[in-house]
Amino acid sequence: MTPALRRWLFFAGLAGLMAFYLWGMKGLPGFGNYPGPYGFIINHIAVGQTNATGVVSAVNFEYRGFDTVGEEFILFIAATGVAIVLRRLRDEQDENPAPDEALDRAASRTSDAVKVGALMFVGPAVLLGWYLGSHAQTSPSGGFQGGVVLASAFVMIYLSGEFLVFRRISPVSLIDAVGAAGAGGFAAVGLTAVVLGMPYLANFLPLGTVPGAVSSSGTIALISFFVGIEVAAAFILIIGELLEQTLIVRQGRH
């Protein structure tokens, strides 16, 4: 199939797809004229029912918690897949090492400005990630964002040139265990509700008195914590595996 023929075939298919899309779009009520009842209902009753002022996180972890379990396990499986594919690749590479790769790669030293700047931001990044992960029920934050910020704190340690330190404070077995604890913890919170005689993922912890306080809203805060550590572990695992691929030759030169 020549490239020109492929392009014409693509445009024909795209014309059909766009025709269907625009035909379906005409049935929408227009931008800004949101008609549907669910948004307004949830906005009115969420704070009263769950004592959480962050309605988006309440929807994520309480009203639609089952969907979030599925999404978190997609993340978990993706991280596991990356680990499996790249670790097998690394084992095959150890069997037949390329002889010239180590010689013509000059390991350049990181400049002091980059080193100081990166190390200066590690502490605030960990603090910010922890804050985001624990305040899901009050303000725009949550486990997902907090987990990525927490993982970026570890990445900054690598950026400051200390790959061995990065490897030493995040050994692969520990990161695997933390990720599994996060994913399993989320499922376990749901199962605890079943053990207590309620539907899966029902809110069984005390709801607190002040809406939007950190200790309020029952299982939402707990689930957000588990999601945070799971997302952080997944991203540290993925980036660690990719780093092992690229820096396997530099380890002998430090």
Q: Which of residues 35-64 bind another protein (CB under 8 A)?
A: 35-44, 46-47, 53-60, 64
Which residues 86-105 are close enough to bind another protein by CB under 8 A?
Answer: 86, 89, 92, 101, 104-105
Distance between CA atoms of residues 15 and 23, nearest Å: 12
Q: How far is the CB of 245 from another protein (least distance, A)?
A: 5
Distance between CA atoms of residues 48 and 216, nearest Å: 12
SS3 124: helix
Residues with Cβ < 8 Å from 134, sequence gap 6 or more? 146, 214, 221, 224, 225, 228
Which residues 111-150 are close enough to bind another protein by CB under 8 A?
Answer: 132, 138-142, 144-145, 147-149
Whichever of 218 and 240 has its CB closer to another protein, that residue is 240
Whichever of 51 and 193 has its CB closer to another protein, that residue is 51
* Contact range with another protein by CB under 8 A, out of 21-29, 110-118, 183-191, 195-203: 21-29
Residues in contact with another protein, shown as a per-residue x/- string from 167 to 206 under the rule CB under 8 A: ----------------------------------------
Rule CB under 8 A: choose which of 50, 51, 134, 152 binds another protein: 152
- Residue tagged 């200066």 (tokens): 120
* Contact range with another protein by CB under 8 A, out of 19-27, 111-119, 178-186, 214-222: 19-27
DSSP type of residue 250: G
Task: Decide: 221 and 136 in contact? Cβ < 8 Å.
Answer: yes
Should residue 157 be labelled a site residue for another protein when binding is judged by CB under 8 A?
no
Which residues 208-237 are close enough to bind another protein by CB under 8 A?
Answer: 211-212, 231, 234-235
Q: How far is the CB of 88 from another protein (least distance, A)?
A: 8
Q: How far is the CB of 196 from another protein (least distance, A)?
A: 25
Distance between CA atoms of residues 254 and 252, nearest Å: 6
Whichever of 196 and 247 has its CB closer to another protein, that residue is 247
Whichever of 75 and 195 has its CB closer to another protein, that residue is 75
Query: Which contacts qualify for 121-128: CB closer than 8 Å, 24 or more apart?
Result: 121/153, 121/156, 122/153, 122/156, 122/157, 125/149, 125/150, 125/152, 125/153, 125/156, 126/150, 126/153
Q: How far is the CB of 240 from another protein (least distance, A)?
A: 10
Residue type, 241: E
| Count of alpha carbons within 13 angstroms of residue 44, beta-carbon side | 5
Residue type, 60: N
